[in-house]
Structure 1
Amino acid sequence: MKSTTRRTLAAVVTGVAAAVGAAAAPAAAVGTVPVPVPLEGAEKALNMELPSLSGEIPLPKPGKPDGPQFVAGRLLPARTVPQLPVTGGLPGAGLRAPVPHVLGTDFDHVGADVPASDLRTLSPGLSVDAPLTRPNPDHLGLPDTKLPQAGILAPVLQTVPGANLGMGPGL
């Protein structure tokens, strides 16, 4: 194969890879998916203004769990089943409804906006220890017995939801 053909082929492959990478990046960067509720057909059928409604559904993203940790004096590591962190959000919603002649002569509106809020969670985990100790040199390298230990790592949920209410002219 000639060097010019190789260069042309390399340029085409590089361009295709860049185009595919650029198309995949916005999809991965989106944190929520908008969900519009179409009411235009009902407005035309009823010949009146209806509220506008929309929503947002968050996309959960799993994180990297903290692995088991060695603890001196224990046969098994701590956090035998580690907690899995998941970040996402609470769903959001938006509503604007017409309210005739409340604040003036035109159609006014009342609106509620509940934005999607961040949500961080940790799944439950498990920490256990065997009923044996580490090998004891005083007993010819045999382990001693002890009471088994088991502990459940509690799940964690953190969020700060918010909402906005308002009235104003126009829809």
Structure 2
Amino acid sequence: MKPTTRVTLAAVVSGVAAAMGVTATPAAAVPVPVPLSGAEQALGMELPEVAGELPVLTPGAPDGPRYTEDRLLPERALPQLPLHGGLPGADVRQPLPQVGGDGFDHVGLDTPASDVRALAPSLAVDAPLGPPSADSLGLPTTRLPQAGLVSPMVRTIPSADLGVGPGL
């Protein structure tokens, strides 16, 4: 196979993969530690342990125009752009002194980063001319122009876990 054929084939395959919305990596979250040790030493008390996760948004491939039989312009003049990412996560652990002893227990709240799938708003426009009609000798029919906004969409399933346990 010639090198030009290989390059052309690779470009076609990558173009098809991009058009289908294939992504190489899923949405990732970057861990963010919150250092509170300096505040613990300055205040002379134990503070909660806090860690977080910040999501990284990755844009997907936009939906292409959809032509229908009854319209002169495509269904969505401005396509919707999909975004994949996540809600930020957090892990908080607070020391809890035992009532009848010298030890400590803990209260913990864990909210893992959850996936978010969103679609940006889109613009839908229809021209004042319709398709040619046999009743009007092949001339296009006229109608009122239409414009609309396709609403954005957000989909996610957040979760949280609140618990009390022994030890720190």
TM bracket (short chain)? 0.7 to 0.9
C-alpha distance in structure 1 between counterparts of 2:159 and 2:120, whole Å: 24
Q: Match for 1:106: what amino acid?
A: G
Judging changes above 3 Å, is the alpha-carbon distance between structure 1 residues 152 and 29 closer, same or farther for their aligned structure 2 residues? closer
Mapped pair 1:68 → 2:70: no
Shift of the alpha carbon at 1:91? Answer: 0.6
Mapped pair 1:128 → 2:162: no
Shift of the alpha carbon at 1:74? Answer: 1.2
C-alpha distance in structure 2 between counterparts of 1:69 and 1:125, whole Å: 13
Contact 1:106 1:169 in 2 (8 A): no
Contact 1:103 1:169 in 2 (8 A): no
Contact 2:27 2:57 in 1 (8 A): no
State the SS of the aligned residue for 1:127: strand
Larger radius of gyration: 1
Match of 1:115 in 2: 112
Q: Match for 1:54: what amino acid?
A: A
Question: Greater helix share, 1 or 2?
Answer: 1
Paired residues for 1:69-148 under 5 Å: 69-102=66-99, 105-136=102-133, 142-148=139-145
Contact 1:31 1:59 in 2 (8 A): yes
C-alpha distance in structure 1 between counterparts of 2:149 and 2:46, whole Å: 54
Structure 2 residue runs of 5 or longer lacking an equivalent are: 1-24
Match of 1:53 in 2: 50
Structure 1 residue runs of 5 or longer lacking an equivalent are: 1-27
C-alpha distance in structure 2 between counterparts of 1:79 and 1:152, whole Å: 9
Given the two structures, how large is their TM-score scaled by the length of structure 2? 0.77
